[in-house]
């Protein structure tokens, strides 16, 4: 059977030069595609073409909006085939992948709406003595060439969160998708072409981060980098790109707190299991990782959590009733196994799961954990939830904050005062009341503090990041 081979896309043409990297089905291990590694010369041409396009081709807000809306419609029409393509290259379940396509449709639609609302504001410059005969206002202008570098775990929606707002704002993009999951993204690139995006507004280069990614970082014609991925690479990007704009969406070890006055703890236990173990196979930066449960409800809650975890079906992600598929690679599954084993050797107790089979890791709940164990203080990125009992709310807030990360935190409570205290005292980019740390709407501002990154996503906020505010002063 012939498999698709993807090259770099430059100005609408495909460049098939460079060695190839195979892409595998993460469940069957079968080779499903190949990508050509972009050399420094190919990367240079992709950036030059994007810059030329940005400077010479202008699309009106209505045209940009129309293209993005058409793309949203095509994504929706092809949902089933796109979802299945994602299942194969990422290993996430079909249920989960359908949600990702729906969310990408939303991200494109919201970006299309935002394309028509980009505006500056009036500046009351006459408020300063001597400026009475001047008028001032700002306009928002696109930054130019935006480079988007994306991770493996949500390849479609996380890429949509970069390219749709970039196009809405009038920028040209050079995209480098994760080398292990580039296939479905290429379908999205074709959809944008089909929706009428002129060549050069979205160029794509493939390859390894240390090679192709590095060539991009070194290209001074790129005005802004928008990155989602690991902390180490984020730090490297920030230190390599000098005074250019950078937004970084990085990892976390997200806490969720279930207080004794939380309502419907059965539903909360199910949600925590779903969002910590099953969704993205636990490979999400806002996955429920540190789950603090008040002592008064702890035993009942944990029993329900374990029951839900034990009912989860681990297996072929293409099957409708599968809850957990394989992790992205055997190496990652071995890392998760090693971290859990290390915690157990230091006194942690496995309540369910705790076993690896090739690239699969069983849904796992552990307790008796300590803050300095890797499963607690580092980003776990697998189907494992740590449960920690507490009785002192000050202690639990301090524990939640005692992290080098700060992406999102969840708190379940029916006490408004406590909820509002959490809003101000929990040190995170987002605080979710009566929801898990994993909640994300594609409309809202999303992004972390500390090692979880800088800058916000969500189309309106990304457009702010991807435009410059230019001041205009008119002497009358
Ligand atoms: P990764 O950092 O290994 O790779 C991400 C991308 O960066 C890939 O395209 C890779 O090729 C590229 N890259 C790697 N080295 C590079 C270099 N030296 N220069 C330029 N580019 C380079 O991340 P991953 O394993 O694909 O994804 C998992 C990580 O992503 C986790 O840490 C997770 O928390 C994070 N993540 C964050 C969010 C968020 O919104 N905050 C969302 C999803 C994933």
Q: What is the pLDDT of residues 66-122, one digit of tens each?
A: 999 999 999 999 999 999 999 999 999 999 999 999 999 999 999 999 999 999 999
Q: Is 426 in the pocket of ligand 1 (CB under 6 A)?
A: no
Q: How confident is the model at residue 226 (pLDDT cuts 50, 70, 90)?
A: very high
Q: Is 149 in the pocket of ligand 1 (CB under 6 A)?
A: yes
Span 245-267, mean pLDDT?
Answer: 98
Residue 13 C-alpha to ligand 1 middle, in angstroms? 27
The pLDDT score that the predictor gives to residue 458 is 98
User: pTM of the prediction?
Assistant: 0.98
Q: Which atom of ligand 1 is nearest to the CA of 207?
A: 11
The pLDDT score that the predictor gives to residue 138 is 98
Report yes or no: 415 and 408 within 8 Å, Cβ to Cβ. no
Q: What is the pLDDT of residues 163-179, one digit of tens each?
A: 999 999 999 999 999 99
Q: Give the residue, by CA position, lying nearest to ligand 1 atom 30.
A: 229
Q: Phi/psi class of residue 324: alpha, beta or left (left: φ > 0; alpha: ψ in -120 to 50)?
A: beta
% of the chain with per-residue pLDDT over 90: 100
Span 249-253, mean pLDDT?
Answer: 98
Q: What is the pLDDT of residues 276-295, one digit of tens each?
A: 999 999 999 999 999 999 99
Report yes or no: 125 and 473 within 8 Å, Cβ to Cβ. yes
Q: Is 204 in the pocket of ligand 1 (CB under 6 A)?
A: no
Q: Which of 218, 167, 219, 226 is nearest to 197 (CA)?
A: 167
Q: Is 250 in the pocket of ligand 1 (CB under 6 A)?
A: yes
The pLDDT score that the predictor gives to residue 1 is 77
Q: Among 90, 147, 151, 382, which is best to mutate for testing ligand 1, by the most ligand atoms less than 8 A from CB?
A: 151
Q: Is 181 in the pocket of ligand 1 (CB under 6 A)?
A: no
Q: How confident is the model at residue 26 (pLDDT cuts 50, 70, 90)?
A: very high
Residue 228 C-alpha to ligand 1 middle, in angstroms? 5
Number of Cβ atoms within 10 Å of the Cβ of 12: 15
Whether the per-residue pLDDT at 239 is higher than 90: the answer is yes
Q: Is 428 in the pocket of ligand 1 (CB under 6 A)?
A: no
3-state secondary structure of 28: coil
| Tokens encoding 454 | 């800088």
Helix axes 94-114, 155-168, angle to 10 degrees: 10
Instruction: Give the chain's mean pLDDT.
Output: 98
State the residue for tokens 């949500």. Answer: 154
Whether the per-residue pLDDT at 369 is higher than 80: the answer is yes
Span 287-313, mean pLDDT?
Answer: 98
3-state secondary structure of 213: helix
Q: Is 285 in the pocket of ligand 1 (CB under 6 A)?
A: yes
Q: What are the residue ranges spanned by the domains of the chain?
A: 5-250+452-475, 255-441
Report yes or no: 26 and 316 within 8 Å, Cβ to Cβ. no
Residue 284 C-alpha to ligand 1 middle, in angstroms? 12
Q: Which CATH number fits domain 5-250+452-475: 2.40.10.10, 3.40.50.20, 3.40.605.10, 3.20.20.70?
A: 3.40.605.10
CATH 3.30.70.270 fits 255-441, yes or no: no
Task: Indicate the pairing of strand 360-361 with strand 255-258.
Answer: unpaired
Whether the per-residue pLDDT at 359 is higher than 80: the answer is yes
Q: Which atom of ligand 1 is nearest to the CA of 177?
A: 9
Q: Is 213 in the pocket of ligand 1 (CB under 6 A)?
A: yes
Active site residues: 249, 285
Report yes or no: 109 and 339 within 8 Å, Cβ to Cβ. no
Q: Which atom of ligand 1 is nearest to the CA of 233?
A: 2
Residue 289 C-alpha to ligand 1 middle, in angstroms? 19
Measured CA to CA, the distance from residue 362 to residue 353 in angstroms comes to: 5
Span 464-473, mean pLDDT?
Answer: 98
Phi, psi of 22, deg, nearest 5: -75, 150
Q: Which atom of ligand 1 is nearest to the CA of 210?
A: 18
Q: Give the residue, by CA position, lying nearest to ligand 1 atom 32.
A: 230
Q: Is 236 in the pocket of ligand 1 (CB under 6 A)?
A: yes
Q: Give the residue, by CA position, lying nearest to ligand 1 atom 20.
A: 213
The pLDDT score that the predictor gives to residue 363 is 98
């Amino acid at each position: 059977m012939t498999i698709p081979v993807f090259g770099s896309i430059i100005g609408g043409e495909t460049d098939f030069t460079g060695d190839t990297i195979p892409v595998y089905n993460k469940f069957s291990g079968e080779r499903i595609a190949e990508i050509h590694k972009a050399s420094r010369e190919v990367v240079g041409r992709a950036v030059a073409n994007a810059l030329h396009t940005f400077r010479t081709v202008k699309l009106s807000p209505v045209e940009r909006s129309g293209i993005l809306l058409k793309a949203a419609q095509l994504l929706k029409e092809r949902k089933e085939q796109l979802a299945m393509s994602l299942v194969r290259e990422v290993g996430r379940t079909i249920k989960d992948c359908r949600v990702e396509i729906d969310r990408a449709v939303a991200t494109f639609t919201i970006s299309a709406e935002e394309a028509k609302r980009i505006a500056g504001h009036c500046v009351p410059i006459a408020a300063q003595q001597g400026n009475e005969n001047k008028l001032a206002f700002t306009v928002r202008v696109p930054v130019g060439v935006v480079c988007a570098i994306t991770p493996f775990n949500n390849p479609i929606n996380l890429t949509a969160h970069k390219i749709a707002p970039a196009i809405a704002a009038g920028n040209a993009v050079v995209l480098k998708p994760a080398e292990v999951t580039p296939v479905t993204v290429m379908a999205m690139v074709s959809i944008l072409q089909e929706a009428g995006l002129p060549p050069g507004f979205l160029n794509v280069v493939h390859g390894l981060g240390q090679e192709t990614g590095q060539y991009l970082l070194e290209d001074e014609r790129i005005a802004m980098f928008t990155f989602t991925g690991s902390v180490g690479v984020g730090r490297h990007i920030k230190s390599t790109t000098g005074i250019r704009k950078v937004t970084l969406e990085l990892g976390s070890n997200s806490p969720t707190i279930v207080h004794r006055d939380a309502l419907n703890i059965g539903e909360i236990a199910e949600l925590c299991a779903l969002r910590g173990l099953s969704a993205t196979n636990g490979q999400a930066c806002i996955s429920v990782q540190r789950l603090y449960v008040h002592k008064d409800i702890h035993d009942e809650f944990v029993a329900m959590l374990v029951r839900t975890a034990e009912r989860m079906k681990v297996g072929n992600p293409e099957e409708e009733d599968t809850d957990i598929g394989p992790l992205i690679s055997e190496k990652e599954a071995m890392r998760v196994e090693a971290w859990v084993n290390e915690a157990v050797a230091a006194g942690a107790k496995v309540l369910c799961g705790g076993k690896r089979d090739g690239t699969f890791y069983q849904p796992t709940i552990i307790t008796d954990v300590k803050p300095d164990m890797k499963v607690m203080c580092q980003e776990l990125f697998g189907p494992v939830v740590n449960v920690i009992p507490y009785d002192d709310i000050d202690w639990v807030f301090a524990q939640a904050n005692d992290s080098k990360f700060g992406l999102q935190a969840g708190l379940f409570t029916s006490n408004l005062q406590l909820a509002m205290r959490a809003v101000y005292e929990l040190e995170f980019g987002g605080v979710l009341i009566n929801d898990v740390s994993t909640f994300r709407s594609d409309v809202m501002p999303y992004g972390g503090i500390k090692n979880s990154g800088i800058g916000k996503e969500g189309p309106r906020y990304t457009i702010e990041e991807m435009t410059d505010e230019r001041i205009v002063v008119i002497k009358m």
